[in-house]
Amino acid sequence: MTSGEDAKKMVDAGALLLDVRTPAEFAERHIPGAVNIPMQEIEVRYEELGPPDTRIVLHCRSGRRSDIVVQFLKTKGYEDLHDFKALDAWPW
């Protein structure tokens, strides 16, 4: 697991910030600049993330969905994955 502070540093350095919550959750509150691809859509939309060497920082509400997405992305060749689990871990 990546800390929220480390996640922010990676995003500030150019990593893709991926929010895997539902569109309704995303609309309610999200980190500016985050890309929203809900966990339920990741299998058909993962190519939107870029090539497998893309550095991706991801989260959901509690960490369950982001963990599932990490495991899925690994099967597609993504390795530079950093899950800070919960939105509330982000250093606002």
Q: How far apart are CA 42 and CA 38, in angstroms?
A: 6
Per the residue annotation, which of 60, 69, 73, 81 is the catalytic one?
60
3-state secondary structure of 39: helix
Look up residue 27 and give its amino acid: A
Look up residue 24 and give its amino acid: A
60 flagged as catalytic: yes
Point out the residues that are catalytic. 60
